[in-house]
């Protein structure tokens, strides 16, 4: 992705959060210059990849396949000094944009429509052994206390205020329903590790390379300088 595109997405995301009065922690407003002054007291942010995350999954078309996220809090399954067992994110998805089919080996998560249009999910169980999407067996749905099953690939709509629980080994992809507008999407989950716990059906790059065509407006969660 071009840095200019990432900057534009972050500014649009900030405007959407302000519209819905969703406040962020202070570190989300720090500039690259601010980060140069931050010492080891902020290592939890660095080590657990809190902050901004914009991805086109290395396919070069963010408006068609992409997602903008902010990790607000997170633990760390690989470092025992971080004892949080949970994570929280806020995301922005736009009409015409797909978050591609994937599952998590370890993470259970609740996905919440925080405001805007309808979010449409397609779900599949992962087959044993080869971990392919199972296009035969029904999928268990847990939606705001209601438990039921749907056919594999059947569309499940999440309206404002509603949530969907996604279990490990449940393939999921989602997009915004046409003509309903962009959506803020919350995620409350077990500890999140985007480096090792994403199994995409089609091989994709979770963190895309960046073409530096202008200065960064905000650093992404995998770009922080080490404390001095």
pLDDT tens digits for range 173-217: 999 999 888 899 999 999 999 999 999 999 999 999 999 999 999
Contact assessment for residue 199 and residue 106, using Cβ atoms and an 8 Å cutoff: no
Residue 95 structure tokens? 């009409």
Query: Rounded to 5 degrees, what are φ and ψ at 186?
Result: -95, 155
Interatomic CA distance for residues 215 and 218, integer angstroms? 9
Q: Which of 78, 89, 115 is nearest to 25 (CA)?
A: 89
Q: What ranges do the domains of the chain cover?
A: 3-200
How many CA within 13 A on the CB side of residue 58?
Answer: 9
The predicted pLDDT at position 173 comes to 98
The predicted pLDDT at position 179 comes to 87
Query: Rounded to 5 degrees, what are φ and ψ at 220?
Result: -80, 165
pLDDT per residue rounded down to tens, the chain (228 residues): 999 999 999 999 999 999 999 999 999 999 999 999 999 999 999 999 999 999 999 999 999 999 999 999 999 999 999 999 999 999 999 999 999 999 999 999 999 999 999 999 999 999 999 999 999 999 999 999 999 999 999 999 999 999 999 999 999 999 999 988 889 999 999 999 999 999 999 999 999 999 999 999 999 999 999 998
CATH superfamily membership of 3-200: Jelly Rolls (2.60.120.10)
| 86-93 vs 146-150, strand pairing mode | unpaired
H or E segment and range at residue 185:
strand 183-190
Residue 133 is given by DSSP the state E
Strand ranges (E), the chain: 51-55, 67-73, 86-93, 98-103, 109-116, 119-126, 133-134, 139-143, 146-150, 155-158, 163-166, 170-176, 183-190, 199-200
**pTM of this structure:** 0.95
The predicted pLDDT at position 32 comes to 98
CB atoms within 10 A of CB 62: 22
């Amino acid at each position: 992705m071009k840095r200019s595109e990432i900057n534009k997405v972050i500014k649009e995301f900030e405007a959407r959060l302000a519209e819905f009065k969703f406040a962020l922690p202070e570190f989300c407003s720090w500039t690259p210059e601010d980060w140069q002054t931050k010492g080891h007291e902020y290592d939890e942010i660095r080590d657990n990849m809190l902050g901004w995350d914009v991805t086109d999954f290395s396919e070069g078309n963010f408006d068609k396949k992409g997602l903008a996220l902010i990790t607000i809090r997170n633990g760390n399954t690989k470092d025992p000094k971080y004892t949080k067992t949970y994570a929280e994110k806020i995301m922005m998805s736009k009409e015409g944009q797909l978050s591609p089919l994937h599952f998590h080996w370890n993470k259970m998560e609740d996905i919440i429509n925080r405001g805007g249009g309808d979010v449409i999910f397609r779900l599949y169980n992962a087959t044993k052994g080869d971990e392919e999407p199972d296009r035969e067996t029904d999928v268990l749905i847990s939606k705001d206390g209601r438990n039921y099953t749907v056919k594999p690939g059947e569309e499940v709509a999440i309206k404002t205020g509603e949530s969907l629980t996604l279990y490990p080994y449940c393939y999921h992809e989602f997009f915004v329903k046409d003509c309903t507008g962009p959506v803020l999407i919350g995620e409350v989950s077990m500890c999140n590790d985007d480096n090792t716990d994403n199994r995409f059906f089609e091989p994709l790059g979770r963190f895309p390379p960046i073409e530096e065509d202008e200065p960064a407006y905000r650093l992404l969660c995998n770009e922080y300088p080490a404390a001095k």
